[in-house]
Structure 1
Amino acid sequence: MKASYDEIADWYENEFLASSRIGDPIGIDRCLRALLGQGSGICLEIGCGTGVHADLVRSLGWSPVGVDLSAGMLGYANGRLPIVQGAAERLPIASGTVPAVISVMVHTDMPGYPAVLREAARVLRPDGVLVHVGVHPCFCGGFADRTDPAAVVIKPGYVDGHWTKASWTTRGLRNRVGSSHWPLPDLLGAFLRAGLTLEAFTEGGTPVPAVLAVKARRASRDRPHQSSR
């Protein structure tokens, strides 16, 4: 299966990352470090792309492993962490085997993200942790104009839930590969419907957050999971 990122893998690795990660400007690394924390064992990254988060995960004591649909992106990830090519909605991982899962800046690339969360819950061990770091649903999307970094302009469209290539900039990802959007209640509800217990939150980017991060946990065998009802 050809992935949309195959066509932009070289640009993503050599141009986009080089200009967007200097100094952790929107707090992606800070959010991941704060919510994942120190640990040990396998940390599976869903949508690992070129593997840019592997060193941070490793610095926290975890052993990073990545899965991604894009062969082009995995070509760069190879050597940075163990990798497997596969769809996030059908992870090639046995149930109940992984102590930690991360999803970093990819949920808008996955129209089936609620199914991805269900898969993450399936592969997690009881009490295993999931950390989601994603674009902020309230302040990023086809409805948000971030031309002025001091004052985001929100236009109609937030509540619709949609896929779009509309973007305020031609230097980002959305105008190249498109982006899916879930309003905040839909996004958080998807965690609950996957059988995950919401545990902690943080935001990144100033003065208007560009990132929302969520820490959730799979229920232990002897404790019922949180219900969305």
Structure 2
Amino acid sequence: MVGMGEARYDGHADWYDETFGDYGAEAGSGGVLARLLGPADPGDPVCVDVGCGTGLHFAAVRACGYTVVGVDFSADQLRRATTRGRYVLRGDARRLPLATASAATVLMTFTHTDIDDFPAAVAEAARVLRPGGRLVYLGVHPAFVGAFVDRGGEREGGELRVTRGYGDERLQRDDSGRFPVRSRVGARNLTLATFLGAFLAPPALRLSSVEELDTRLRPWRPDASDGRVVPWNLAVTAVRSRAG
């Protein structure tokens, strides 16, 4: 992914594609990205996919009329991304290789657990947005998904236990087998306050919406058909101010 002192995803691109290819397709076919992004403005259709990985979401974004520019820190991930998209750049999410106010839309998907300084990455996304441009984020729910959560009884008795690890934002590996990618590259859990604070901190960025989603990337409800008693994913949209 992006924004790391080292490219922790190098050497895992082929495995990543095989493991998560269906999930990328589900995000597109299920309509969540289309709904969050909305149709592109034909006069300003650029969407920067920050932390694009192997480009699993490129097709879904293009289907909305956008010209996708993928950015990732891992050369190995970009090797696969070039087979899915024409425009890819190697770069750090905290120092994007893009001019200020150069994009109408910035998309980030499932990256807050991989970026060493997520608030800095959100601030950088705000920098490259044009006035009135939108930042769309989709990822796992910071409060309910991670190595700190024991979901063993969630389906049977509605129990879910959160351990003290919730507040530990250091890079950690999860060798439980529940999240195979996390045993390979680790993850940084962010508290919900840190996560949402990243979108509230940039002066030019205005938080527009926060939506909790289930495992199938549909709006979460307490009686959700996926059997989860809490939401699994979270979607955030923010808009760059037209002034300043």
Shorter-chain TM range is: 0.7 to 0.9
Say which SS state the counterpart of residue 115 (structure 1) adopts. helix
Against the structure 1 CA distance between its residues 211 and 30, is the aligned structure 2 distance closer, same or farther, given a 3 Å change threshold?
farther
Against the structure 1 CA distance between its residues 146 and 8, is the aligned structure 2 distance closer, same or farther, given a 3 Å change threshold?
farther
Against the structure 1 CA distance between its residues 45 and 148, is the aligned structure 2 distance closer, same or farther, given a 3 Å change threshold?
farther
Shift of 1:21: 5.0
Query: TM-score, normalization: structure 1?
Result: 0.87
Against the structure 1 CA distance between its residues 29 and 119, is the aligned structure 2 distance closer, same or farther, given a 3 Å change threshold?
farther
Against the structure 1 CA distance between its residues 99 and 72, is the aligned structure 2 distance closer, same or farther, given a 3 Å change threshold?
same
1:181 aligns with 2:182: no
Which 4+ stretches in 1 moved above 6 angstroms? none
Aligned residue among 203, 207, 211 for 1:198? 207
- Which residue number corresponds to residue 20 of structure 2? 17
- Which residue number corresponds to residue 99 of structure 2? 94
Amino acid at match of 1:114: P
- Which residue number corresponds to residue 52 of structure 1? 56
Say which SS state the counterpart of residue 11 (structure 2) adopts. helix
Shift of 1:49: 0.5
- Which residue number corresponds to residue 219 of structure 1? 241
Aligned residue among 113, 118, 128 for 1:113? 118
Against the structure 1 CA distance between its residues 4 and 183, is the aligned structure 2 distance closer, same or farther, given a 3 Å change threshold?
same
Amino acid at match of 1:90: R
- Which residue number corresponds to residue 166 of structure 1? 174
* Equivalent residues of 1:141, 1:167 under 8 A apart: no
* Equivalent residues of 1:137, 1:182 under 8 A apart: yes
Between the two proteins, the alignment pairs up a number of residues equal to 219
Distance 2:179 2:169 in 1: 23
* Equivalent residues of 2:126, 2:202 under 8 A apart: yes
- Which residue number corresponds to residue 38 of structure 1? 39
Q: Which stretches in structure 1 are left out of the alignment for 5+ residues?
A: 223-229
* Equivalent residues of 1:31, 1:213 under 8 A apart: no
Amino acid at match of 2:239: R
Against the structure 1 CA distance between its residues 199 and 19, is the aligned structure 2 distance closer, same or farther, given a 3 Å change threshold?
closer
Distance 1:28 1:172 in 2: 24
* Equivalent residues of 1:135, 1:210 under 8 A apart: yes
Say which SS state the counterpart of residue 134 (structure 2) adopts. strand
Distance 1:103 1:109 in 2: 11
Q: How far does the alpha carbon of each residue in 1:159-204 deviate from its partner, in whole angstroms, 9 at most, with x for none? A: 3333211254255211110101111111111111123111112222
Against the structure 1 CA distance between its residues 79 and 211, is the aligned structure 2 distance closer, same or farther, given a 3 Å change threshold?
same
Shift of 1:155: 1.7
Distance 2:153 2:15 in 1: 25
Q: How far does the alpha carbon of each residue in 1:12-32 deviate from its partner, in whole angstroms, 9 at most, with x for none? A: 112x124655755xx995432
Against the structure 1 CA distance between its residues 31 and 194, is the aligned structure 2 distance closer, same or farther, given a 3 Å change threshold?
farther
Say which SS state the counterpart of residue 65 (structure 1) adopts. strand
Against the structure 1 CA distance between its residues 138 and 28, is the aligned structure 2 distance closer, same or farther, given a 3 Å change threshold?
farther
Aligned residue among 219, 229, 232 for 1:210? 232
Q: How far does the alpha carbon of each residue in 1:38-85 deviate from its partner, in whole angstroms, 9 at most, with x for none? A: 123100000000101011111111111100011111111103121011
Against the structure 1 CA distance between its residues 136 and 167, is the aligned structure 2 distance closer, same or farther, given a 3 Å change threshold?
farther
Q: Which stretches in structure 2 are left out of the alignment for 5+ residues?
A: 215-225
- Which residue number corresponds to residue 222 of structure 2? none
